[in-house]
C-alpha cells in the first residue's frame, strides 16, 4: 500500500462535517479491499467488521473520523455576496482572501473569501491585524443576487482550497489531514494484517461529525459493541511559537512516531500495552499526557458508550491544525499503522 497515494485519494475528496458523502465513498472503496461487506450507516459513517476465526473472540474497534472543518452557507445578500459561517473549529486567521469551493447540489463553484485592504479601511481599527469574526465571513463567487440564488442553496457547504503538497520526501501539507491521516493509518494497519490469522474481531469505524461534537463515533461504537477501542486522530505538532518550555512538552515532533495518549478518561492498561508493543517492535513513539479528557476527540465519546469501552488514543503529530496547510510526516502515518497492527496481533 502506497501511503502517499492513499492519503491523496482521501484528501482530494471533500467531507465537511455533516456532509461527508464524497470522502466516505472514497474511504468505503479503500476499506472494501480488506472488508468486502463494509458499508455506511444512517449518518454516513463507514463501518466494517472483520471476523476472527476464534470463537468468542473479543472485538477491537479502530476509529478515525473522516470529516473535516469547513463553512456553511447561511445567507445571500442583495449584491450576490455569499455569507458563510464556520462548520467546526475553522482557524479564522487563515480565511482572508482564501480561495474556496462551494459545494452546491447543482455544481462546484469557486469563490474567494472577501477581505478589505488595510489602506482602504476608513475606520479607526487596524483591520490588517484583526481576526475575521465568525459571523462576518463573505464569499465572492462573481455572481449577482439572481445568479447566486439560482446556483447556491442555503446550507451548502464550503471547503477551503488546499491541495496535498509534498514539501519533502517525508513531509506533506494540505487540507483535511485532520483526520484523513488517521484514516490512512488505520487502512495501513489493515493492509499489514491482511494475511494474519486474527485472534480478535476488528470493527472499523471511519466516523462522521467529529468536528461538531463526536457524534458519529457514538453511533458506530454503540452498534459495534467493542470490548476495546483504539481511536486514531491527530494532535499538536511542534512548530514555531511552541518552542518554549511551557508549551513544547505538549507537542509531538514530526517524524518521531505516533503520540500515545493518556488521560483519566482513557484505559491505563491499553496505554501501557501500546508502549510495550512499541518497545518490543522498535517502533518510535511519543507520550501525550492529559490531565482531564482528551480534548474533544472521539475517545471521550467512545469510552462511555453503552456499558463502557476500554479505550486508547493514538495520535499523529500535525502542524497548523484546522488550516488549509496542515502538515504531517508520512513516516508517522506508517509507524502509527505498524503499531496498531502489532497491537492487534498481540490481542
Residues that are catalytic: 210
Q: Find, among 176, 159, 165, the residue nearest to 111 by Cα.
A: 159
Residue 190, helix vs strand vs coil: helix
Please check whether residue 3 is in contact with residue 169, taking contact to mean a CB–CB distance below 8 angstroms: no
- Torsion from C-alpha of 145, 148, 149, 154, nearest 10 degrees: -120
Position of cell 473479543? Answer: 58
Sequential DSSP letters for 272-320 = HHHHHHHHHTT---EEEE-SSS-SS-HHHHHTTSTT--EEEEEEEEEBS
Strands of the 310-318 sheet, one edge to the other: 39-40, 46-50, 201-207, 59-65, 228-236, 310-318, 259-262, 286-289
Please check whether residue 275 is in contact with residue 285, taking contact to mean a CB–CB distance below 8 angstroms: yes
CA distance 215 to 305: 11
Residue 74, helix vs strand vs coil: strand
CA distance 177 to 186: 14
Q: For strands 99-103 and 157-160, give the pairing.
A: antiparallel
Amino acid at each position: 500500500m502506497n501511503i502517499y497515494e492513499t492519503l491523496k485519494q482521501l484528501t482530494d475528496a471533500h467531507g465537511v462535517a455533516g456532509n461527508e458523502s464524497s470522502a466516505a465513498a472514497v474511504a468505503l472503496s479503500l476499506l472494501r479491499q480488506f472488508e468486502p461487506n463494509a458499508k455506511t450507516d444512517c449518518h454516513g459513517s463507514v463501518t466494517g467488521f472483520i471476523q476472527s476465526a476464534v470463537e468468542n473472540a473479543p472485538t477491537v474497534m479502530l476509529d478515525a473520523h473522516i470529516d473535516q472543518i469547513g463553512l456553511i452557507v447561511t445567507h445571500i445578500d442583495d449584491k450576490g455576496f455569499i455569507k458563510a459561517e464556520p462548520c467546526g473549529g475553522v482557524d479564522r486567521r487563515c480565511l482572508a482572501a482564501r480561495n474556496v469551493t462551494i459545494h452546491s447540489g447543482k455544481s462546484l463553484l469557486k469563490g474567494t473569501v472577501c477581505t478589505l485592504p488595510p489602506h482602504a479601511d476608513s475606520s479607526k481599527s487596524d483591520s490588517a491585524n484583526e481576526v475575521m469574526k465568525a459571523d462576518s465571513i463573505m464569499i465572492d463567487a462573481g455572481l449577482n443576487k439572481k445568479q447566486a440564488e439560482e446556483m447556491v442553496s442555503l446550507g451548502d457547504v464550503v471547503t477551503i482550497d488546499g491541495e496535498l503538497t509534498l514539501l519533502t520526501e517525508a513531509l506533506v501539507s494540505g487540507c483535511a489531514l485532520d483526520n484523513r491521516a488517521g484514516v490512512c493509518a488505520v487502512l495501513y494497519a489493515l493492509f499489514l494484517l491482511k494475511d494474519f490469522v486474527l485472534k480478535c474481531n476488528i470493527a472499523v469505524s471511519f466516523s462522521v461529525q467529529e468536528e461538531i461534537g463526536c457524534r458519529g463515533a457514538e453511533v458506530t461504537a454503540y452498534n459495534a459493541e467493542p470490548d476495546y477501542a483504539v481511536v486514531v486522530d491527530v494532535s499538536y505538532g511542534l512548530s514555531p511559537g511552541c518552542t518554549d518550555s511551557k508549551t513544547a512538552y505538549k507537542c509531538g515532533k514530526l517524524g518521531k512516531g505516533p503520540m500515545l495518549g493518556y488521560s483519566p478518561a482513557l484505559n491505563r492498561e491499553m496505554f501501557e500495552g501500546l508502549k510495550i508493543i512499541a518497545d518490543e517492535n522498535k517502533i518510535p513513539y511519543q507520550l501525550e499526557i492529559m490531565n482531564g479528557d482528551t480534548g474533544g476527540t472521539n475517545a471521550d465519546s467512545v469510552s462511555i458508550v453503552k456499558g463502557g469501552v476500554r479505550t486508547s488514543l493514538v495520535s499523529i503529530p500535525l502542524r497548523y491544525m484546522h488550516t488549509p496547510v496542515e502538515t504531517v510526516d508520512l513516516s508517522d502515518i506508517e509507524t502509527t499503522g505498524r503499531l496498531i497492527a502489532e497491537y492487534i496481533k498481540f490481542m
